[in-house]
Amino acid sequence: MVSTAQADRNTQAHGRAPEYGATPQTETATEARAGVTGHNVRYVLYFGLGGVVLAFALIYAAFFA
């Protein structure tokens, strides 16, 4: 008779990802990055961060100053 712990261990071993380095690398560095490097992404970050800082400054001035 197989215990439930043994049965769970067997299903987990078959469902996990292959070990690191088990499959050869077939992507270039640009393909592996899988992210956008252009399209003015940095400006969205800068204006968003600046907007949050400005919002917190206004909230601080309204409630604590």
Within-domain flag for 57: yes
Q: What is the domain range of residue 49?
A: 40-65
Within-domain flag for 49: yes
Within-domain flag for 11: no
Q: How much is the pLDDT for 15?
A: 65
Position 16, amino acid: R
Q: How much is the pLDDT for 14?
A: 61
Q: For residue 9, how far is the Cα from the chain centroid? A: 28
Within-domain flag for 65: yes
Model pTM score: 0.45
Within-domain flag for 52: yes
All residues at 6 or more sequence positions from 25 whose CB lies less than 8 Å from its CB, including other chains? 32
Q: How much is the pLDDT for 34?
A: 75
Which pLDDT tens digit goes with each residue over 1-46? 555 555 555 555 566 666 666 666 677 877 777 776 777 888 999 9
Within-domain flag for 53: yes
Within-domain flag for 35: no
Within-domain flag for 17: no
Question: What is the count of structural domains for the chain?
Answer: 1
